[in-house]
């Protein structure tokens, strides 16, 4: 028996190996030692046994995989594991636009724009409907009504009703739409034939929930649709048997509605308000549609669920702030959070504050209203005495000077095509390795990526340069600026700006004026003159080369230079590091100088 057991192999479970193992096992038995397995009935039996063993192995492996959050592949399994961590996968989110309306009428003191008033819009993806999320009542003394900054959301409203039946043990309140924006849900309960009517709010945690609280809970069904659950008179009030439950919600198309910037009203407000809409109705787009997102992906649920459980809906550590924002604001891609006590390098300390900077998938900065939303969300979850402060990311841009050596005998690409290949490689490196907080630039890693772009590339010599960009100057307002390279030491004599105009003359900023004695640490404003040897320059700022700080004194700018005022420098180290609210990005559009040479 020991010999027979020794012939068993459990190392591989594919069909052919299983069949071979069965043959080897039977051949080790004295009764089948010289048996011819090929072309016999035994061969068919072995096929069946191998097939059955393979199916069992496959299904057992899949079943075991679905039992763990890390290995589960089905969305229903991942969502079920997330439920055990008190995490509800985020729904799709409607794109939001902001418009202003001017509505001239024939008469009336007030005008009502009901909740659900529809506006049509179009982008490259197709036509979309936007709706108001609440009722607006306007007043006017001249029959012309105006509303500024009216928020409209992509999608249309639907309502589903259910009758509470406690005799049905399988009753579930599952919403029909798979594209619900859960932020728009309104749940109401009517009891005693309508005598009692109450609105129930979503309970995201058990904090403050009493037996009499009118709250509902939200979870996902096995097919990914959302279910509404009520309390049990211990954690939340249980509606009466026979009560009518109404759920109103907005179904949306996620990110497909982003970018719509022209809107036309679809509803007739005349009949609603018993008036006539006169000529001159105007719709002005203040902010194009943005922030629409699809429902949370499986990988996002897998990542966020344990971190949500760790935070327990409170913000104590900086990582808590990051996790809460990423989970609840899907348009935000990357977050950096740090305490005010860590900014002493800038000369000040802000105890009791946590600074938060967010980058979005679109690359645009958060609007002031979006910052206010994030701040309002964090405030009640922060520790007592801690104030969250939202700040914009500070970008450090990288330009590259690269010479790529190629063996053209090993490739059919022309030098121009090879150059395009290198540019695409750098662009992919920029997207995959940079453009996020705490993502350092490693020159050696980039050089390796360029070398591996094609087998014909022998080597490359790549040198990075860094710059800061300033935009939005007003010619009437002199301004002082600081180019902060966030601790990246810069080489003396390497600082130069692009050309700008000040009080009718053209200048550049530099720390080195040729032909004169320069003082280390001074920043000069040098006039760009033509046809004369006279140098007109003055000290306008200071430079901290070690900490990478370029302080530019108060200067008036006659115009904003094309692409902004840029301060260029050479870093001391080939690697460029980020900290706090800094993001590094390669200027792929205009900051690449690629030379392709043979050999």
Gap between the Cα atoms of 130 and 268, Å rounded: 15
Q: What is the pLDDT along the chain (599 residues), one digit of tens a residue?
A: 444 455 556 666 777 777 777 777 777 777 666 666 676 777 778 788 888 878 877 888 888 888 998 888 888 899 989 888 888 899 999 999 999 999 999 888 899 999 999 999 999 999 999 999 999 999 988 889 999 989 999 999 999 999 999 999 889 999 999 999 999 999 999 999 888 999 999 987 777 789 999 999 999 988 889 999 999 999 999 999 999 999 999 999 999 999 999 999 998 898 888 888 887 788 999 989 988 999 998 998 998 888 887 777 788 888 889 888 888 888 888 899 988 877 644 556 778 889 999 988 777 788 888 888 899 889 888 888 888 989 999 999 999 999 999 999 988 889 999 999 999 999 999 988 998 898 999 999 999 999 999 999 999 999 999 999 988 776 667 888 989 998 899 999 999 998 888 888 888 999 888 878 888 889 988 888 765 555 788 899 999 999 999 999 998 888 767 778 899 999 999 999 998 889 999 999 888 999 999 97
Copy the structure tokens of residue 447: 């050089």
Looking at residue 2, what is its pLDDT? 44
**How far is the CA of 519 from the CAs of 511, 527, 533, 568, in angstroms?**
8, 18, 21, 19
Distances in Å between the alpha carbon of 46 and those of 30, 43, 123?
18, 5, 61
In the block, residue with structure tokens 């706090």:
580
For tokens 């418009």, what's the residue? Answer: 99
**Which residues have C-beta within 8 Å of that of residue 264, sequence separation ≥ 6?**
119, 120, 121, 283
What ranges make up the beta strands (E) of 442-548? 457-470, 479-484, 496-497, 500-502, 505-510, 522-527, 537-544
Residue 406, classed as helix, strand or coil, is strand
Q: Strand pairing of 592-598 and 394-406?
A: parallel
Q: What contacts 501, CB < 8 A, 6 or more positions away? A: 507, 557, 558, 559
CA-based nearest residue to 560, from 469, 490, 483: 469
Q: Supply the angle between the helices 298-311 and 318-328 in degrees, to the nearest 10.
A: 140
Tokens for 171, please give them.
């009753």
Which residue bears the tokens 């787009």? 285
Task: Please state the three-class secondary structure of 474-485 as a single string.
Answer: CCCCCEEEEEEC
In 3D space, the residue among 397, 402, 398, 399 whose CA is nearest the CA of residue 450 turns out to be 402
Dump strand ranges (E) for 365-478. Answer: 387-391, 394-406, 457-470
Is the pTM here over 0.95, yes or no?
no
Cα distance between residue 172 and residue 405, in whole Å: 66
The one-character DSSP state at 409 is G
Give the pLDDT confidence score for residue 309 in this predicted structure.
Answer: 79
């Amino acid at each position: 028996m020991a010999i027979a057991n020794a012939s068993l192999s459990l190392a591989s479970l594919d069909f052919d190996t299983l069949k071979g193992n069965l043959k080897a096992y039977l051949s080790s038995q004295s009764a089948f030692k010289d048996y011819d397995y090929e072309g016999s009935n035994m061969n068919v039996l072995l096929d069946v046994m191998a097939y059955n063993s393979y199916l069992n192995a496959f299904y057992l492996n899949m079943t075991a995989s679905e039992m763990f959050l890390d290995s589960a592949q089905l969305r229903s399994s991942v969502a079920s594991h997330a439920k055990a961590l008190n995490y509800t996968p985020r729904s799709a989110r409607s794109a939001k636009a902001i418009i202003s309306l001017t509505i001239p009428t024939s008469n009336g003191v007030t005008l009502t724009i009901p909740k659900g008033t529809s506006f049509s819009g179009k982008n490259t993806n197709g036509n979309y409907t936007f709706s108001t999320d609440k009722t607006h009542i306007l007043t006017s003394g001249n029959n012309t009504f105006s509303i500024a900054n009216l928020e409209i959301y992509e999608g249309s409203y639907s309502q589903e009703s259910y009758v509470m039946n406690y005799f049905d043990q399988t009753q579930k309140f599952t919403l029909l739409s798979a594209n619900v924006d859960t932020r728009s849900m309104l749940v109401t309960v009517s009891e005693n034939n309508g005598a009692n009517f109450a609105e129930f709010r979503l309970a995201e945690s058990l904090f403050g929930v009493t037996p009499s609280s009118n709250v509902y809970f939200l979870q996902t069904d096995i097919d990914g649709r959302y279910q509404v659950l009520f309390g049990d008179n211990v954690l939340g009030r249980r509606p009466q048997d026979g009560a009518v439950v109404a759920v109103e919600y907005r179904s949306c198309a996620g990110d497909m509605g982003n970018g719509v910037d022209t809107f036309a009203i679809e509803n007739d407000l005349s009949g609603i308000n018993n008036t006539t809409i006169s000529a001159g109705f105007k719709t002005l787009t203040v902010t194009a549609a943005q922030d629409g997102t699809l429902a949370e992906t499986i990988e996002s649920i897998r990542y966020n669920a344990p971190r949500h459980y760790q935070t327990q809906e409170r913000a104590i550590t900086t990582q808590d702030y990051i996790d809460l924002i990423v989970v609840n604001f899907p348009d935000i891609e990357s977050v950096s959070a740090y305490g005010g006590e860590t900014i002493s390098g800038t000369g000040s300390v802000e105890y009791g504050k946590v600074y938060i900077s967010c980058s979005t998938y679109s690359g645009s900065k958060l609007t002031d209203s979006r910052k206010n939303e994030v701040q309002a969300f964090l405030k009640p979850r922060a520790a007592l005495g801690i104030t969250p402060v939202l700040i914009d990311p500070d970008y450090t841009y990288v330009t590259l000077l690269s010479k790529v050596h190629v063996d053209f005998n090993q490739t059919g690409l022309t030098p121009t095509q090879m150059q395009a290949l290198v540019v695409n490689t750098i662009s992919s490196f920029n997207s995959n390795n940079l453009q996020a907080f705490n993502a350092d630039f490693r020159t050696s890693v980039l050089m390796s990526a360029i070398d591996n772009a094609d087998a014909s590339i022998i080597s490359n010599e790549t040198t990075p340069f860094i710059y800061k960009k300033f935009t939005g100057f007003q010619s009437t307002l002199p301004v002082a600026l600081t180019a902060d390279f966030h601790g990246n030491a810069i080489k003396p004599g390497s600082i130069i700006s692009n050309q700008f105009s000040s009080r009718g003359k053209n200048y550049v900023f530099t720390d080195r004026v040729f032909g004169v004695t320069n003082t280390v640490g001074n920043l000069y404003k040098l006039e760009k003159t033509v046809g004369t040897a006279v140098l007109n320059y003055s000290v306008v700022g200071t430079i901290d080369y070690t900490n990478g700080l370029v302080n530019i004194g108060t200067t008036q700018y006659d115009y904003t230079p094309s692409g902004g005022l840029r301060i260029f420098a050479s870093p001391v180290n080939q690697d460029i590091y980020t900290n706090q609210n800094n993001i590094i990005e390669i200027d792929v559009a205009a900051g690449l100088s690629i030379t392709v040479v043979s050999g």
